[in-house]
Amino acid sequence: MSDPVLSVEGLQKYFWEQNSLVDRLLGNDPVAVRAVDGLTFDVRRGETLGLVGESGCGKSTTGETVLGLQEPTGGRVEFEGRDVYDLSGEALDEFHREAQIVFQDPFSSLDPRKTIGKSVQQPLDVHDVGTKAEREDRVRDLLDRVGLSGSQYDRYPHEFSGGQRQRVAIARALALEPEFVVLDEPTSALDVSVQAQILNLLSDLQDELDLTYLLISHDLSVIRHICDRVAVMYLGEIVEIGDTAELFESPGHPYTEALLESVPRASLAEQDRTIDVLTGDVPSPRDPPSGCRFRTRCPEVIPPEGLDIDQKAYREVMNLRGLLENRSLSVTKLWERAGYDSPPEEPDDAAVDAFVDAAIERHLERSLPREYRVHVEDAFAAVARGNWETATLRDDFESVCERTNPDLDGTDHPVACHLPDR
Amino acid sequence: MSQGSGFDLRRRDVLKATGVAGVSMAGLAGCLGEEAPDELTITLSQFPDTIDPLDHITGDYFDVLDHIYEPLFDFEPGDGIFPRVVEETEILGGGVTELQLRDDVVFHNGDDMTAEDVAWTINRTVDNDIGVASDIGAFGLGSITGAEAMDDTTVEISYSGAPGLAEFEFGNYARAMNRDWSIENHDADQEGESISGADPEDFNGTGPYEVVEFTSGEEVVLERFDDYWGEEPPFERVVFNSDGESSGRVSSLETGETDVTINILPEDVNTVQNADNVEIRRVTSFRNIFLPMKNTVEPFDSQEFRQAMNYAVDNAGIVDSVLSGFGEARGQPVAPGINGFNSDIEPYEQDIGMAESLVEDSGYGGIEIELTVPQGRYLNDAAVGETAADQIDQLDNVNCEANIVDFGVVSDANSAGVDPDVIEIPFYMIGWGTITGDTDYGVQGFFSQDAETRSFDDEELSDAIAESQSIEDPDERRAQLEEVNRIAHEKAPFVFLHTQESIYGVREDIQWDPREDETVYVWGMNQ
Amino acid sequence: MISDRITSNLRRTFRESLLPKIGMVLLVSIVLMAVFAPLLATHDPTRTGYYDEGGNAYPPIGTEYTTQIAVDGEIQEVEVTADSAHVLGTNNVGQDVYSRFVYGARISLLVGFSATLMAMLVGVPIGLIAGYYGGRVDDALMRVADTMLAFPALVLALALIGVFGESPVYVPDPIVSLGLADGMPESIPIPGTVTIVAALVIWVWFARVARGEALSLRNEEYVKAAKSFGTTDRDVLIGHVLPNSVTPIIVLATIQVAVIILLEASLAYLGFSGTTLSWGYEIERGQDILRTRPWVSTLPGIGIVLTVIAVNLLGDWFRDALDPNLDEGQRGA
Amino acid sequence: MREDVLRVEGLSTRFFTGEGQVNAVENVSFDVREGEVFGIVGESGSGKSVTGLSLVDLVGSPGEITDGELWYRDAELADEVREEFPDVVDGEYVDLRGVPESVRTSLRGTSLSMIFQDPESSFNPSLTVGEQIAEAVEVQQRASSRPRSTRARTDGEEYSLGSLVLSFALPSRRYVSEESRERAIELLELVGIPDPVERADEYPHEYSGGMLQRAMIAQALAGEPDVLVADEPTTALDVTIQAQVLDLLSELQAETGMTILLITHNLGVIARMCDRVGVMYGGEIVERGTLEDVFRDNVHPYTEGLLGSVPDLESVGGSLDPVPGNVPSLLDHEMEDRCYFADRCPKAMEACLERPPDTRVEADGDHVVKCVLTDLEYGESPPLPDDHFETEGADASDGGSNESADASDKSASPDGGDSR
Amino acid sequence: MSIAKFLVRRTLQAVFVVWGVVTIMFGLRAVSPGDPATLMLGEGATAETIARVRAQEGLDEPIYVQYLDYVQGLLIGDFGYSWRSNREVEAMVIERIPATLELAIAATVVALVIAIPLGVVSATRRNEPADYGATLFSLLGISTPNFWLGLMLILLFGVWLGIFPTGRRPVGLVEAIWTLVAFGSAGDLLTWLQHITLPALTLGTYFTALITRLTRSGMVDELGKPYVTATRAKGLPAVLVRYKHVLRNTMIPILTVLGLQMGTLMGGAVITETVFNWPGLGLRLIDALDARDWPLMQGIIVFIAVAFVTINVFVDALYSSLDPRVNDE
């Protein structure tokens, strides 16, 4: 195993909302959007580390924060052993030369007012590399190298197709002969045939120039195709890191597994493959679930000891608990279902019963063993009387998954999950 | 009445009509359309923005306020003053004149008018410590120093100048306010306080009309005051409103919305003459228009230069063109008909060559000057000023630009005095209506070295005026005033322009001759 | 800064639509008229006294009017006929209406363009910096902008002029000083305060647009890329953000020129411009004599309308070709 | 074999833009069978979305269907229009291009419905999701309660500006009745929206992308359509959500038996969902047939290249085998009269310099290919030299004309911008 | 964010703005040439009196004390006394509001009634004669200075055709309606209508033109959005799509623009009131400027700013109720 080029430890990046002067005057507390929440990983020299996840999981923010394009909220990033956020002067210059980035959107990645030659030359100008003529020559070489022609130096970006622009962006990233390149969804805006060309180009360049890549992508096929190792992100956290082949063949985390299963394969066998589709949506990073962040969708949440119900019924109870804890159960609608036009001020027992029935019918599709059902009924009755505090069902149903957030275990193929053997 | 009159239903008509029980809508419609015969509407060019009768010295304001706060005397331009509220005057000597008041005068609120009221009003006019700093006091009652009530109907007025001058002054500017009412309701004896308000009750004079409706800045409606001591005035109701545009006033006249309007521009004379039932009435006013030149700053310290300016301007031509003939070129500070007008003095005639050589003589050849011109105050004022400036500019050795500003600027410039450190605008256009009918009023404020507001600092002229003020014999005094005018012509403290005509549009069936002093008195009218 | 693509877009839109052509022809004619005013004018526009022998202003050629004059105290009606030397007649002080019309274009355009330029020079950098850095600077700018916008432009202008006076600035006329035109004024008065006030009134719009651009541009990937290899903020602002904000700013500037021409005209109309050689003032002058000599007000009004239309047409053209997203709300000022 | 529900013959749709005429869809023929999922796959700018829009008659200005026939099977409709327009009726089939627009409009929602790529922009942001679905329900109910022939006329009155103003003022005049609201909630439930009663009152922006796509499907189902055109229904979604939506579509199809025309660029989605496939390139369908025909027995080099470009999830590494070059311009004046793929085709021959016809691989089969290789072996006609299509200034590797790159970006927009 | 919270937030911002306006106005007054006491007392006041008044009015105090006094006054609704007429500024402002409000509302009504249908027609019949007509009209409308338009209307309708009166406001709307209700007489109302027609047209033309343009371009943009196609795809008739969906969504952003344009409307009102001698706030502002009556001028401008800000808070609230996205971004 080679030494890490980049080593990330506990990286956090929060965005703040409601942070204006007016908000302060109003006494609104700023709301943190936890885009990246405590990442730790290494990128090893010469490898391609894939960072995969669905939209909004914080993977692009990670890429940008690692390069210092965003101020981190917490954590350290070391590049070649030096803390990136402490760099200044010469050393910072050096870092800017050694670490580069290629972005997703080929239409936004090049300044439309600059010729592509000038765009590629810009890093050279900034770092004052060589003479003007040397720089121009270097740019022409680079353009040739990425499959364009040096003669296109004076063209403007709009004269190029998406794939060609992406080649220019790659040329620009390579201009300073960097050690390390962040590839932020470099092909996701491209058609599949062009994507393949770019992927091939990236592979070739890596071989030739001994580059280290951090490849950010939501496309598992792409990840699998070019990455040596993969880190899977969910809601600002890494849930699993591992060797590509190993991770793809025996995923450790339920999320990784679901993710892999969800991808339709472009093969004739695809129609016969059965998938266990993951339910629900990704929760908001403003208010991530407690404990394991995946628990709200996880097909294998761990019930508390001694609780003997099947996973689907438990899932239902968990969902209900979410509503109760957030007090987002729509009481008015339930009262309507129970036959009351408006919620009664002081509901009598009959009313409460009607409410509970309506709520059970509404929120529990699966039958729950009697002993557990009672708890739910009590909770609903409490809600009917307005006692949200006592209606959380926490004592009866709380899972380890919601209490503690599992850390990546210290193995070669670390996984953050409470399940044993994972 | 022409277009739109069918809709011209006013609330009072409705009130009247609906006052009669059982009047049907048809009947109602039938009695509309015709202006109630006993009502007169007068459209001014400026609506009073103050209701304190002492806090102004503007013609349009007098037109409104004099009907409410009647003058103590009747002033007839050219003829002098006649008894009104004051029945008799007696010069006691030693700078004191005694006034005998009528004993049957009541205020609109029912209080009897007493000598206390008159004396207090005069004191409030001339003494800035009591009430508002009065423009009338500063300009109108310049020589009056105070007044005292001797008994219920006797007031003694003291003054610093000649009794004749004082008589001209209080004859024109003395009014009576209700002392107790003013103090109780408006703190009117507090320094700086003027009477203000937006209700009819905020007016309280002894005039033949009392206020019944008042919309600030827009309209005031007067009705005959039933307890008026004198002759019943000709109209039951009088409405005053205003329109800053001559064309607007003419429109109102055309459509019958108004019966009398003032300040019709020569341009609109045609329209009025062509309209039905209305006609033009006009008179050469006591108002002279001129361009003061403050002689404490360059280049106006040179008499040659000032004379040159007078030669440069073709004032007769301006009258013919800009004023379409509605005026007369003038060569002295006051208009004909004014006591002391010097009929021997001819206007400066335009003589470019003379002007240019005088400029050379003055040593100010090649100078650049600016003429500040007010807009909307006098007959075609901006146009007159612009033309005058351009005519000066046509001299080879003078550059002159006109700067057209609001009247307030000019007015401030005029009263800024002659301190060279203070003067920002030494050359401007202004008009002065010598409404007292006496030259003194036309020259004293401008030339007397005692006057803070003087625009010209010259001992000879000032002394001549001072001398006139102490002469008691009217003929001698007139002769001295004629001399003052002569000196003024020669020293050219102004570029003398012209005397303007007052042009009125009046309903044909109203018998009324416009007055030289520009006031419009309803009691001088007849149907 | 103006790339090929922009010019080609402009060219194409110009080709395809009639309106930009009209606008272009109009504006070019008006600009030429303004530039060569001393050559095109037939009389010194400030020279008064062009009357007939009765002292009456001439009507435009082909028309006549009757007016009343007082001769020796008597009112007489006289017919006034046109004079071939005064194509569009003369005004009430006997100035040549045509010559004043020609010169009026100078004031309108000079004020319009110079105030816009000033506003741009002030507003754009402030807006770019606020938008680029965000945070407190931006917060402050937006509050200032809100405050400025709470004043109606005209009202604010009136208040400012009330404070600072009108101060016309006399600018020498190059054509006259070269001796190319005889008998024309050697300098023309530019309403100085009006120009500065207009700039003060509208700079906020530039700041807002520039801010918006910077705000979105700072998230553009090429900007991030530039930062990633160590470009300084200053270079990013000058090298990327500014050039890419140019288009909407140009479109806005065009709209604002129109706005300012109207503002100047309004101020001149109200008598606050400090010069009489302005279309707006000329309309005011004609207001009193609208009934008898309507041409005095009418012609300068047409001048304003045509100029503003020309500028607006070009603005529409720019917007259509360059930046379809800039909305009409900017027309506020 | 099931019957065709839709037969498309020689469909051409063109856009008349400032840059010139764009041949977005060029002489496309295919048929869709009742109850099947027919997939159309292609890269951006291949014309697949425009094909979908053309079927539902939603091509807006400056686009226009210029040629072709759209035979739709609807016995009832055929009876109705037979008398008036005998030429456009063939048995139970009606050529939708031949009937008046009002008839085509009346078919939208009830017979042909469509869902789109980006659910977020496909809902009116300022109305609740429930109301928008109820609207669709309402329209379909009103439509089906009246004979088709009178619909066009009464629609005008019913939906005039005046009645709109009234509807703001009078609750009784609202467009959406209580019943249709109930139905909307049922539909939401049907597509698996949790808490449909509550969610019906929420606005589109309060939905996640996946939920919104479900809602759009619910909306499309309001009129119980025979054919659902699904234009990239999962492209904007994350893969876990994509799986949910695909599942949903499958379930719904199984329940209702409707026919789905699935348009996508994702070969995996095609493989998962479709019975038969058409591969589009340059506005043409270059190859169509069953899934096996296309995925295994493909003939057209483009199909092969496309499949070769997809990285395999099942195996690691190795080099991909993509088609070189770029998607072509669809600008009429830049399209040469030849096989549009020839310039990128590794097997281009001189025979390719003429437009290849649609050729059936087997005489009675469904597998139709637009390529000379159907009949020829590579090399039978002289291969073109590598630099045959290189124009001045073009670069070797991307091959495509640089001048046209911009145009092809542009032409992607009428296609719905399906590049993401 | 709830509507209430949004409003609180927005109101707070509005308070900032008003404070800014007040401060700027105070600053302008402080730097304006001329001694306030002299201006206050008018011509002819003695130096002694001036000094006394200065002391009395607190003009001798340091500037910040004067500022605090002024702001304090404003907070309790005391705008001070007019230097010219010595009346309370509040009263002088309030009594002029109806006239200006009538004018502004009439102009807005004119604008909305004409502009929206025109814009819709223009957008839906693009490149047809109706569109060209509307485009030409709106181009003329935004390019015509309203004082000139007012004069031309006076010339045409007042002088030549004699249909409408050319100035003044003999009766207020409230009064006119009262007459109608109380006496069943429509005469006053007709008089009012006659008098307001030309001013309303003058003030309204620019807005008509502007809204026409906004509606047209907004509609065109909106019609190009995917949801329109989607809405058509579900079978909705074109008319319903156009009005219920597109027009509604077009009007939402226009609302904001209109809010911001209230400033222009006020500026326009100043001019229009001057041209037509319409006794509103604008005319009073010009009078105050002419007389350099600072307290009155300040009072009017602060009032206008407050009105502007209030309208915009209101518009924003309306916006947020119409566009559900605003509340939770």
Do residues C169 and C190 lie in contact, with contact meaning Cβ atoms separated by under 8 Å?
A: yes
Kindly tell me whether chain A and chain B come into contact, counting contact as 3+ Cβ pairs under 8 Å.
no
Question: Which residues make Cβ contacts (< 8 Å) with residue D33, sequence separation at least 6?
Answer: D1, D2, D3, D4, D5, D259, D275, D276
Within 13 Å of residue A409, how many CA atoms lie on the same side as its CB? 13
Digit-coded pLDDT (tens) for B165-213:
788 888 888 899 999 999 998 888 887 788 888 889 999 999 999 999 9
Percent of chain D with pLDDT over 90: 20
Going by beta carbons, is chain E in contact with chain D, meaning 3 or more pairs sit under 8 Å apart? yes
Report the C-alpha gap between B66 and A53 in whole angstroms: 90
Distance CA E290, CA B407 (A): 8
Residues of A in contact with E9 (CB under 8 A): 22-23, 26
Q: C-chain residues within 8 Å CB-CB of B405? A: 166, 271
Q: What is the mean pLDDT of residues C108-119?
A: 93
CA dist., res. E121 & res. E124, Å (int): 5
Which residue from B minimizes the CA distance to C282?
B383
Q: Cα(B382)–Cα(B373) distance, rounded to whole angstroms? A: 6
Q: Which of residues 84-143 of A touch C (CB under 8 A)?
A: 92-93, 96-97, 99-101, 103-105, 108-113, 119, 122-123, 126-127
Residue A199 has phi, psi (to 5 degrees) of -60, -45
Q: In angstroms, how far is CA E198 from the centroid of its own chain?
A: 17
Mean pLDDT of C152-180: 83
Kindly state the tokens that stand for B482. Answer: 């004629």
Any idea what DSSP says for residue B349? P
What fold, for E97-279?
MetI-like fold (1.10.3720)
Are residues E116 and E213 in contact, defined by beta-carbon separation less than 8 angstroms? no
Q: How far apart are the CA of B513 and the nearest CA of chain C, in angstroms?
A: 15
Cis peptide before D171 (omega within 30 of 0): no
> Whose structure tokens read 């409707």?
D258
**pLDDT reading at D167 higher than 60:** no
Reported confidence tier of residue B494, pLDDT bands at 50, 70, 90:
very high
A21 contacts in chain C (CB < 8 Å): 136, 139
Choose among B449, B480, B486: nearest CA to B467. Answer: B480
Tell if the CB–CB gap between D268 and A265 is shorter than 8 Å: yes
What is the percent of chain D with per-residue pLDDT over 70, rounded to a whole number? 83
Q: How far is C47 from chain B (nearest CA, A)?
A: 6
B contact residues 300-329, partner E, Cβ 8 Å cutoff: none
Interface of C with B (CB under 8 A): 46-49, 51, 54-57, 66-71, 75, 77, 92-94, 166, 168, 189, 271, 274, 276, 281, 285, 287-293
Separation of alpha carbons A10 and A41, rounded Å: 9
Per-residue pLDDT band for E329 (boundaries 50, 70, 90) equals very low
> Would the CB atoms of E8 and A23 count as touching at under 8 Å?
no
- Among B422-426, C228-232, D415-419, E268-272, where is mean pLDDT lowest? D415-419
Per-residue pLDDT, averaged over E140-156, amounts to: 92
A137-141, A384-388, D248-252: least confidently modelled range: A384-388
Q: Are A176 and A127 in contact (CB under 8 A)?
A: yes
Which chains touch A (3+ CB pairs under 8 A)? C, D, E
According to DSSP, the residues that pair with B516 across neighbouring strands are none
Q: What share of chain B has pLDDT > 70, as a percent?
A: 93
Q: What is the pLDDT of residue E38?
A: 66
Nearest residue, CB atoms, C287 vs list B245, B322, B325: B245
By C-alpha distance, which of D235, D258, D153 is closest to E226? D235
Lowest mean pLDDT among A328-332, B156-160, D174-178, D367-371: D174-178
> Does the structure show a pLDDT above 70 at C28?
yes
Q: Which two tokens stand for residue C111?
A: 């004020």
Residue A279 or E94, more confident: E94
Count CB-CB contacts under 10 A for residue A9: 15
**Among D291, D245, D297, D299, residue whose Cα is nearest residue D271:** D291
| Average pLDDT of span C139-147 | 84
Report pLDDT for D390.
61
For range B298-319, the mean pLDDT: 93
pLDDT, greater one: B228 or B132? B228
- Average per-residue pLDDT in chain D? 80
Which of E2, E8, E9 is the best mutation test for A, with the most CBs of A within 10 A? E9
For residue A314, name the pLDDT band (cuts at 50, 70, 90).
confident
Mean pLDDT for the stretch of residues D81-109? 85
pLDDT of residue B30: 37
Contacting residues of B for C68, CB less than 8 Å apart: 266, 269-270, 273, 324
Distance CA D34, CA C327 (A): 48
Q: Do A266 and D307 touch (CB under 8 A)?
A: yes
User: What pLDDT score was predicted for residue C29?
Assistant: 95
pLDDT in tens, C51-69: 888 888 899 998 988 888 8
For chain E, say whether B407 makes contact (Cβ under 8 Å).
yes
pLDDT of residue D407: 35
Kindly report, residue by residue over C241-279, the tens digit of the pLDDT.
Answer: 998 888 888 888 988 999 999 999 999 998 887 788 899
Tell me the per-residue pLDDT of D317-341, one tens digit each, with 9 for 90 and over: 667 777 887 777 788 877 778 888 8
The yes-or-no verdict on residue B356 having pLDDT over 90 is: yes
Tell me the domain boundaries of chain E. 97-279
Segment D214-254, tens digit of pLDDT:
999 999 888 888 899 999 998 888 888 899 899 999 999 98
Task: Determine, for residues D311 and A191 on separate chains, whether the beta-carbon distance falls below 8 Å.
Answer: no
pLDDT for position C2: 55
* Cross-chain Cβ contact C153/E264 below 8 Å: yes
Residue B333 has what pLDDT? 93
Tokens 């050690």 correspond to A179
Residues 6+ apart with CB under 8 A from B72: B84, B85, B86, B99, B101, B118, B170, B171, B174, B175, B176
What confidence tier does C98 reach under pLDDT thresholds 50, 70, 90?
A: very high
List the single residue in C92, C276, C290 with the smallest CB-CB distance to B322: C92
pLDDT in tens, A58-76: 898 999 999 988 889 999 9
Q: State residue D410's pLDDT score.
A: 34
Closest chain A residue to C235, measured at CA: A126
Cα within 13 Å of Cα(D237), Cβ side = 31
Size of interface B-E (CB pairs under 8 A): 141
Residues D50-75 have pLDDT tens digits of 999 999 888 877 888 999 999 998 88
Interface of B with E in 54-93 (CB under 8 A): 55
pLDDT over 60 at D150, yes or no = no
Q: What value does the mean pLDDT take over residues B314-322? A: 92
Greater pLDDT, E254 or D166:
E254
Predicted confidence at residue B4, as pLDDT, reads: 34
**Alpha-carbon gap: C225 to the closest alpha carbon of chain A (Å):** 7
Q: Residue B83: is the preceding peptide bond cis (ω within 30°)? A: no
Q: Does the beta-carbon distance from E12 to A26 stay under 8 Å?
A: yes
Phi, psi of D288 (to 5 degrees): -140, 155
The answer to whether E230 contacts D206, with C-beta atoms less than 8 Å apart, is: no
Cβ-defined contact of E12 to A23 (cutoff 8 Å): no
Compute the average pLDDT of residues C299-324: 87
Rounded-to-10 torsion of CA D372, D377, D382, D387? 70
Q: Residue B485 has what pLDDT?
A: 94
Residue in C69, C189, C288 closest to B324 by CB: C69
pLDDT at position D166, please?
Answer: 58
Mean per-residue pLDDT, C150-166:
81
Of A400-414, B140-154, E38-52, the range with the highest mean pLDDT is: B140-154
Chain B interface mutation, best of E152, E155, E157, E290, highest count of B Cβ atoms under 10 Å: E290
Q: Do E20 and C144 touch (CB under 8 A)?
A: yes
Please tell me the predicted confidence (pLDDT) of residue B129.
Answer: 80
In the predicted model, what is the mean pLDDT of residues B261-267?
88
Which residue segments constitute the domains of chain B, with CATH numbers given? 43-242 (3.40.190.10), 285-501 (3.10.105.10)
Average pLDDT for D289-293:
91
With a cut of 90, say whether residue C124 has pLDDT above it: yes
Distance CA B420, CA B409 (A): 17
Using a CB cutoff of 8 Å and minimum separation of 24, what contacts does D181-187 make? D181/D130, D181/D131, D181/D134, D183/D134, D183/D137, D183/D222, D184/D130, D184/D131, D184/D133, D184/D134, D184/D136, D184/D137, D184/D218, D184/D222, D185/D130, D187/D133, D187/D137, D187/D218, D187/D219, D187/D221, D187/D222
Q: Residues 119 to 158 of E: which have CB under 8 A from any B CB?
A: 154, 158
Closest Cβ opposite residue C309 in set E139, E147, E265: E139
Model ipTM value: 0.83
- Taking the CA of residue E329 and the nearest CA in chain A, the distance in Å comes to 10
Whole-number average pLDDT of chain C: 86
Residue that the structure tokens 């790659």 belong to: A170
Measured between CA atoms, the residue of chain A closest to residue D401 is A160
Task: Give the mean model confidence (pLDDT) for residues E62-81.
Answer: 86
pLDDT of residue D275: 92
SS (H, E, C) chain A: CCCEEEEEEEEEEEEEECCCHHHHHHCCCCEEEEEEEEEEEEEECCCEEEEECCCCCCHHHHHHHHCCCCCCCEEEEEECCEEHHHCCHHHHHHHHHHEEEECCCCCCCCCCCCCHHHHHHHHHHHCCCCCHHHHHHHHHHHHHHCCCCHHHHHCCHHHCCHHHHHHHHHHHHHCCCCCEEEEECCCCCCCHHHHHHHHHHHHHHHHHHCCEEEEEECCHHHHHHHCCEEEEEECCEEEEEEEHHHHHHCCCCHHHHHHHHHCCCCCHHHHHCCCCCCCCCCCCCCCCCCCCCCCCCCCCCCCCCCCCCCHHHHHHHHHHHHHHHCCCCCHHHHHHHCCCCCCCCCCCHHHHHHHHHHHHHHHCCCCCCHHHHHHHHHHHHHHHCCCCHHHCCHHHHCCHHHHCCCCCCCCCCCECCCCCCC
- Six-digit token string for A395: 């004592």
Chain pair A-C, CB pairs under 8 angstroms: 70
Closest CA to C97 of C63, C74, C123, C72: C63
Mutation target for E interface from C17, C144, C155: give the one with most E CBs within 10 A.
C155
CB-based contact, E318 to chain D, within 8 Å = no
pLDDT band at B29 (very low <50, low <70, confident <90, very high): very low
Q: Which of E235, E238, E245 sits opposite D109 (nearest CB)?
A: E235
Residue A302 CA to residue A298 CA, distance in Å, equals 9
Q: Is E229 on the interface with D (CB under 8 A)?
A: yes
Q: Which residue has the tokens 């301190």?
A: B419
Q: Is the pTM of this model over 0.80?
A: yes
Q: How far is A269 from chain D (nearest CA, A)?
A: 8
SS3 (DSSP) at B406: strand
Do chains B and D meet with 3 or more Cβ pairs nearer than 8 Å?
no
Q: Which residues contact C53 (CB under 8 A, 6 or more apart)?
A: none
CA A265 remoteness from chain centre: 22
Chain E interface includes A27 (CB < 8 A): no
E199-251 pLDDT, tens digit each: 999 999 988 998 898 888 888 888 888 888 888 888 787 777 887 788 888 88
DSSP string, D76-131: HHHHHHHTT-GGGEETTEEETTTS-HHHHHHHBTTTEEEE-S-HHHHS-TTS-HHH
Q: Which residues contact E64 (CB under 8 A, 6 or more apart)?
A: none
Report all structural domains of chain A as residue ranges with CATH numbers, in order of start. Answer: 4-115+178-261 (3.40.50.300), 311-398 (no CATH)
